[in-house]
């Protein structure tokens, strides 16, 4: 089990030595001195060290660490030039000072010589027990106790404290996060670990995990020095139930370190980092604004399990956009209890929409007190965990009054009130929300994505693409009432007469016929039940592939007939198709056409078989298709590499496939009035020069049309 150092004396020191303190205005040594002596609250004393000064302001200055008076010093802050750092640290170790913060730069970041200096420091730490923070770091800021062990002139401007613990490596972006969290819940401790010669980000995470004044840990990671320690620290945070949110810089460098094995080539270090964060419960975000928003949201009480989102707006459009974003992010919408609906009904005009989203109507612009009461009403509903209030436009004072009502309502409830200020015009209402700590989001998408990441998603459930949510209704889909579906045999007969590539086949009406036809066509054959009422033949045991002999064909006939008869007793069975097999090992695709009520005929293309169900990897086009469009759509699917040929497989006959798409387009155009539906699935795709074959086909024509009755 990894152990972590106790950093209490580093974080809350009494006496502090300032090695390299200076009286020269504008120098980092002066700024450090001012931050500590002028702008901090000290528990003990400050001991400036600088051989060139006798005193700085009212404080006596000491020539060296060795020369310091005989008192207990908890932390030495070091800002001398790089070449003097090691000797300074040696003196610190000799004095048994437990911690040194090295702000100086000029180490590994500038080259070999600097890296060697760091090795010497690391050796000193190992042998002496001194713990070093840095070097090349902006320092440590204990905001909550107001202690600035840093030289940033901005230190004194960012002292809004709170329960968020922040760990960064470089310094610049940490300032961004402090500015972002300067309203609402603030940052209590900010560690910025610099080159991590000794103490690492993991040590600070572990400290924050065990620190009773920290509730949320926010990380901005550039490199990961020791993955195992990081994992141990994240696990510790998990055990202490401290949420961790992390932004990892360097995600797009994935796979740059060439990987040796096949497994490695699909891993990539960014993917592994993300997997680790996920495995150990850290929430990964993609940008600074998301890090601020998530840290802020996580510092508030979590919604009760099972509670959903309520969307409240005075703009129907904004409410619809927010509902869209919730649908995409799979954030559950709250179901109101009847009392909530009754209470809303009493407040709102008759034309308001009382479902969820609630459209308060623009009337509420004139009556912020109604808005306030409606917020109270929905917050009292136990089914509501969070309330999103999008504000799509700024109307000056009117919107300011509204913002005031939202902020007041937020202060009366434990529920998450999430305002989204959607206009670029940042009127006084925006300032009110910001200053009251509600950190309004700039879009409903951002608000809902943050909510989804922080709270409202089932962490232990597999995250699958949103499109999968609506997957199959297992029941047989009913054909539209006015469409006649042709049986496979009839469809293929029609397609053959139109010049489509369909396999050699015969329709058998008895086991004897099946046996004879199998012989004529040549084994192996495929056999399939034929019935206009059975769209998915596999599911009724109506398909047998790879039948190797005429004798087996006879038996297959009997099996198929019995199985389909028992599993689809209502279907009229027309026979069993005996059909030439396409050579195995080639990809299969799906091509479908349906009549969209608004656009007319739309063609769909994708890799066929089971993958279409699972991946939804399909592309669409309106008909008619140009050859160029056919070419593009084939290349647009995610799985195109399957057709292009991977791992030594020959490339598919793309020309034949594109021609088939165009042929379908022409066919549909020719039957535009009557064709309702077409599905070729699977279409076998041979290697270059081998063509394509329509192995199964469904055609649906308008009932009563010539095509529907002729066959």
- Which range of residues in 298-306, 466-474, 664-672, 683-691 is near its own copies by CB under 8 A? 466-474
Contacts of 582 (CB under 8 A, 6+ apart): 503, 684, 686, 693, 695
Shortest distance, position 164 Cβ to its own copies, whole Å: 14
Q: Does 83 bind its own copies (CB under 8 A)?
A: no
| Minimum gap (Å) between residue 468 Cβ and its own copies | 7
DSSP 486-519: EPHHHHHHHHHHTT-----EEEESSHHHHHHHHH
Which segment (298-306, 401-409, 520-528, 601-609) binds its own copies by CB under 8 A? 601-609
Q: Are 400 and 420 in contact (CB under 8 A)?
A: no
Which one of the spans 199-207, 368-376, 469-477, 493-501 is the region binding its own copies (CB under 8 A)? 469-477
Q: Which of residues 220-249 bind its own copies (CB under 8 A)?
A: 220, 222, 224-228, 231, 247, 249
Q: Is 286 one of the binding residues for its own copies (CB under 8 A)?
A: yes
For position 480 contacting its own copies by CB under 8 A, the verdict is: yes
When the beta carbons of 48 and 390 are compared against its own copies, the nearer one is 390
Under the binding rule (CB under 8 A), the answer on residue 565 touching its own copies is: no
User: Is position 691 an interface residue for its own copies (rule: CB under 8 A)?
Assistant: no
Contact (CB, 8 A) for 418 and 388 = yes
Using CA atoms, how far apart are residues 622 and 422, in angstroms rounded to an integer? 34
Is 413 a binding residue for its own copies by CB under 8 A? The answer is no
Which residues, 416 to 435, sit near its own copies by CB under 8 A? Answer: 422-426, 434
Helix intervals (H) in 573-653: 610-615, 627-636, 640-644
What would the x/- binding string for its own copies be over residues 630 to 659, using CB under 8 A? --x--xxxxxxxx---xxxx----------
The pairing of strands 358-359 and 308-313 is: parallel
101 burial class (0-12, 13-18, 19+ CB within 10 angstroms)? buried
Does position 612 bind its own copies by CB under 8 A? yes
Distance CA(155)–CA(134), nearest Å, equals 18
Which residue in the set 89, 141, 208, 276 belongs to the binding site for its own copies (CB under 8 A)? 276
Query: Would you count residue 602 as binding its own copies (CB under 8 A)?
Result: yes
SS3 state at 436: coil
According to DSSP, the residues that pair with 46 across neighbouring strands are 16
Does 503 help bind its own copies (rule: CB under 8 A)? no
Structural tokens at position 492: 């293929």
Q: Would you count residue 582 as binding its own copies (CB under 8 A)?
A: no
Binding residue (CB under 8 A) for its own copies from 44, 536, 558, 583: 536
Assigned token pair, 77: 């802050």
Q: How many helices (H) and strands (E) does the chain have?
A: 24, 29
For residue 613, the number of C-alpha atoms closer than 13 Å in the C-beta half-sphere is: 8
For its own copies, the binding residue among 25, 127, 260, 570 (CB under 8 A) is: 260
Cα first-last separation, the chain: 75
**Cβ neighbours of residue 618 under 8 Å, at least 6 residues apart?**
590, 604, 605, 606, 612, 637
Q: CB-wise, 29 or 390, nearer to its own copies?
A: 390
Contact between 622 and its own copies (CB under 8 A)?
yes
> Half-sphere exposure (CA, 13 Å, Cβ side) for 250?
15
Question: Is residue 176 a contact residue for its own copies (CB under 8 A)?
Answer: yes
Starting at the earlier edge strand, list the strands of the sheet with 384-391. 358-359, 308-313, 384-391, 416-421
Name the one range near its own copies by CB under 8 A: 7-15, 316-324, 652-660, 667-675. 316-324
Could you tell me the smallest distance in angstroms from the CB atom of residue 211 to its own copies? 25
Region of 609 (left: φ > 0; alpha: ψ -120 to 50; beta: rest) is left
The 322-361 contact track toward its own copies, x by CB under 8 A, reads -xxxxxx----------------------x----------
> CB 64 → its own copies: shortest distance, Å?
29
Stretch that binds its own copies, among 172-180, 409-417, 518-526, 665-673 (CB under 8 A): 172-180
Instruction: Lay out the site mask for its own copies across 118-157 (x = CB under 8 A, - = otherwise).
Output: ------------------------------------x---
Q: Which of 81, 463, 566, 670 binds its own copies (CB under 8 A)?
A: 463
CA separation (Å) from 171 to 178, 362, 662?
11, 46, 59
Q: Name the 3-class secondary structure at 575.
A: strand
| Among positions 127, 610, 673, 689, the unique one binding its own copies when judged by CB under 8 A | 610
- Ranges of beta strands (E only) in 296-415 are 308-313, 358-359, 384-391
Binding segment (CB under 8 A) for its own copies, from list 141-149, 211-219, 488-496, 614-622: 614-622
Applying CB under 8 A, among 54, 467, 651, 710 the residue interacting with its own copies is: 467
Q: Which is nearer to its own copies, 96 or 464 (CB)?
A: 464
**Distance in Å, CB of 658 to its own copies, minimum:** 14
Q: Return the number of the residue (222 or 519) whose C-beta is nearest its own copies.
A: 222
Nearer to its own copies, 413 or 443 (CB): 443
Which residue in the block uniquely carries the two structure tokens 């810089």? 249
């Amino acid at each position: 089990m990894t152990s972590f150092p106790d950093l209490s004396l580093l974080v809350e020191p009494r006496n502090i030595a300032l090695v390299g303190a200076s009286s020269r205005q504008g120098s980092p040594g002066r700024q450090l001195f001012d931050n500590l002596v002028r702008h901090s609250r000290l528990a003990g004393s400050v001991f400036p060290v600088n051989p060139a000064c006798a005193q700085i302001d009212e404080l006596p200055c000491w020539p060296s660490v060795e020369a310091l008076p005989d008192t207990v010093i908890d932390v030495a802050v070091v800002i001398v030039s790089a070449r003097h750092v090691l000797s300074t640290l040696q003196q610190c170790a000799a004095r048994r000072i437990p911690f040194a913060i090295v702000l100086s730069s000029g180490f590994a970041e500038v080259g070999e010589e600097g890296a060697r200096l760091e090795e010497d420091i690391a050796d000193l730490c190992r042998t002496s027990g001194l713990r070093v923070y840095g070097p090349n770091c902006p320092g440590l800021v204990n905001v909550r106790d107001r202690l600035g062990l840093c030289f940033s002139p901005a230190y004194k401007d960012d002292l809004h404290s709170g329960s968020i613990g922040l760990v960064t490596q470089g310094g610049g972006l940490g300032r961004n996060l402090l500015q972002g969290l300067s309203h609402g819940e603030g940052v209590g401790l900010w560690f910025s670990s610099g080159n991590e010669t000794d103490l690492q980000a993991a040590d600070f995470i572990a400290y924050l995990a065990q620190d009773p004044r920290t509730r949320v840990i926010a990380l901005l990671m550039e490199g990961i020095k020791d993955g195992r320690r990081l994992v141990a620290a994240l696990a510790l945070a998990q055990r202490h139930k401290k949420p961790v949110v992390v932004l990892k810089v360097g995600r797009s460098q994935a796979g740059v370190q060439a990987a040796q094995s096949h497994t490695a080539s699909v891993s990539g270090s960014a993917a592994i980092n993300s997997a680790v964060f996920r495995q150990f419960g850290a929430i990964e975000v993609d940008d600074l604004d998301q890090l601020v928003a998530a840290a802020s949201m996580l510092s508030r009480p979590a919604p009760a399990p099972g509670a959903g989102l309520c969307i409240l707006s005075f703009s129907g459009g904004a409410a619809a956009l927010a509902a869209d974003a919730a649908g995409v992010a799979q954030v559950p919408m709250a179901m109101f209890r009847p009392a909530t609906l009754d209470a809303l009904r009493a407040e709102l005009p008759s034309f308001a929409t009382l479902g969820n989203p609630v459209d308060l109507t623009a009337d509420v612009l004139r009556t912020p007190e109604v808005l306030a009461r409606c917020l109270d009403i929905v917050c009292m509903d136990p089914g509501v965990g969070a309330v999103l209030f999008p504000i799509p436009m700024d109307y000056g004072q009117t919107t300011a009054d509204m913002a005031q009502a939202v902020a007041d309502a937020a202060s009366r409830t434990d529920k998450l009130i999430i305002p989204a200020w959607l206009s670029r015009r940042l009127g006084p209402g925006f300032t009110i929300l910001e200053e009251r700590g509600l950190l309004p989001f700039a879009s409903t998408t951002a608000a809902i994505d943050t909510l989804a990441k922080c709270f409202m998603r089932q962490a232990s459930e597999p995250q699958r693409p949103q499109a999968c949510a609506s997957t199959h209704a297992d029941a047989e889909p009913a054909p539209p009432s006015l469409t006649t579906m042709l049986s496979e045999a009839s469809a293929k007969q029609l397609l053959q007469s139109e010049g489509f590539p369909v396999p050699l086949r015969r329709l058998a009406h008895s086991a004897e016929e099946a046996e004879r036809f199998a012989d004529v066509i040549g084994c192996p054959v495929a056999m399939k039940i034929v019935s206009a009422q059975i769209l998915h033949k596999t599911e009724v045991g109506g398909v047998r592939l790879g039948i190797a002999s005429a004798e087996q064909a006879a038996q297959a006939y009997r099996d198929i007939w019995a199985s389909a008869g028992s599993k689809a007793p209502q279907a009229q069975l027309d026979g069993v198709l005996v059909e030439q097999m396409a050579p195995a090992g080639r990809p299969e695709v799906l091509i479908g056409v349906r009549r969209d009520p608004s656009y007319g005929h739309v063609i769909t293309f994708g890799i066929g078989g089971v993958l279409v169900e699972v991946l939804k990897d399909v592309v669409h086009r309106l008909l008619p298709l140009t050859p160029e469009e056919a070419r593009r759509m084939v290349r647009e699917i995610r799985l195109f590499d399957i057709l292009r040929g991977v791992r030594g497989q020959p490339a598919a006959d793309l020309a034949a496939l594109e021609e088939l798409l165009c042929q379908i387009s022409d066919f549909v155009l020719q039957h535009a009035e009557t064709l309702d539906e077409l599905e070729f699935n699977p279409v076998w795709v041979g290697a270059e020069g081998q063509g394509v074959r329509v192995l199964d086909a469904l055609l649906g024509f308008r009932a009563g049309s010539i095509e529907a009755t002729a066959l």
